[in-house]
Amino acid sequence: MQFTAAQIADLLKGEVDGDPQVMVNDLAKIEEARTGTLTFLANPRYTEFLFTTKATIAIVQRDFVPAKPVPKSLTLIRVDDPRHAFTQLLERNERLTTDKKGVEQPSYVSPTAKLGKGVYIGAFSHVGDGVVLGDGVKVFPGCFIGNDAVIGAGSLLHAGVKVYHRTAIGARCVIHSGAVIGADGFGFVPDATGVYEKMPQVGNVVLEDDVEVGANTTIDRATIGHTVIHKGTKLDNLIQVGHNAEVGAHSVVVAQTGIAGSSKVGGYAQIGGQVGIAGHLHIGDRVKIAAQSGIGANIADDAVVQGSPAFAIGEYKRSYVHFRNLPEIVQRIAELEKEVEALKAMAASGTKKDA
């Protein structure tokens, strides 16, 4: 689709500086833009690209004053926050891309499933008995939705998502390809001979509103009760959330992190990549955990930790300085030990002479 500078400025509540009727049909980074694309300038480090860009429209700060002339072919749209404005356009572009309705064939939709208005179900998908899909839900090709699952209005399942039975997904959630929501928790109990027997996992997974789940992330259903991802939380790709775990509202968890069963993460937490959180722990609100940290103990509210096992990040950085100097320190200790041994030998020799 094509849009004029005037239409875009009206959407963003911006001002056109140039030709209001010039048209664009795509978005691009400022250093890679071509004719017919729209870009933005938010970081001053990229200002020089504005004077050479081939973009047709650029979004800039409302009070931006160019240090030299911009290309005559470039129209500026002045806004209060260029990055936020460009994000709005990306979101609108995404909605246009995913704006599909109806049930494609071949697919299976149970006669007992309830579909809201404007639902889309892509080909080769399976919608089980008693499933409820809210208004505007988008289920792209190759998805599986198990019996009695509920998905709230405006949520989107990308191709190949698997949602097990009785999973509850809130409104406006986004589940990326390959994610598995509601698989068995890892529950095994050894018998008297040491052979592991499977403990049935009869709980479910609850995703509250506005949760995003990355590609190939897995969230296990609870043994009893619920595994819960609270509202607004964003999970990256390749994350494992164990049974009965809980992640608080508006937290972010980066790729390859593992949260073991029954651990509770507070709200507004920031967890870096490849973090491992042991089971049955309590991670407080607003906690920040640096990448590749290993968490084996509870963490209080507002703490910032790093390391494996993790401890306060300030102490970690001071300790790391010594760790980097460890070879030199070891060498100095070895030299001191030699000097001590030499002094001991001298002292022993002097004692023998006195005797």
Q: Provide mean pLDDT across the span 288-313.
A: 92
Instruction: Based on the residue annotation, tell me whether 243 is a catalytic residue of this protein.
Output: yes
What residues form DSSP beta bridges with 228? 206, 246
| Stretch (H or E) spanning 351 | helix 326-354
- Does the domain made of 3-97 have the CATH classification 3.40.1390.10? yes
Confidence (pLDDT) at 351: 66
> 158, 176, 230, 243: which one is catalytic?
243
Least confident residue range of 47-61, 107-121, 250-264, 335-349: 335-349
Which of the four pLDDT bands, split at 50, 70 and 90, describes residue 355? low
- Write down the CATH superfamily of domain 102-314: Hexapeptide repeat proteins (2.160.10.10)
For all residues of the chain together, what is the average pLDDT? 94
Confidence (pLDDT) at 354: 64
Least confident residue range of 97-106, 216-225, 340-349: 340-349
pLDDT digit string (tens) for 189-205? 999 999 999 999 999 99
Q: Provide mean pLDDT across the span 143-170.
A: 98
The Cα-based distances of 40 to 26, 88, 94, 99, 288 in angstroms read 12, 12, 17, 25, 31
DSSP string, 193-244: TS-EEEPP---EEEE-TT-EE-TT-EEEPPSSSEEEE-TT-EE-SS-EE-TT
Query: Do the domains at 3-97 and 102-314 have one common CATH topology?
Result: no
Say what percent of the chain tops pLDDT 70: 98
Sign of the Cα pseudo-torsion (171, 176, 182, 186, in order): negative
Q: Provide mean pLDDT across the span 78-86.
A: 95
Which of the four pLDDT bands, split at 50, 70 and 90, describes residue 153? very high
Mark residue 80 as left, alpha or beta (left: phi above 0; alpha: psi -120 to 50; beta: remaining). alpha
Report the C-alpha gap between 194 and 150 in whole angstroms: 39
Query: What are the structural domain ranges in the chain?
Result: 3-97, 102-314, 325-354
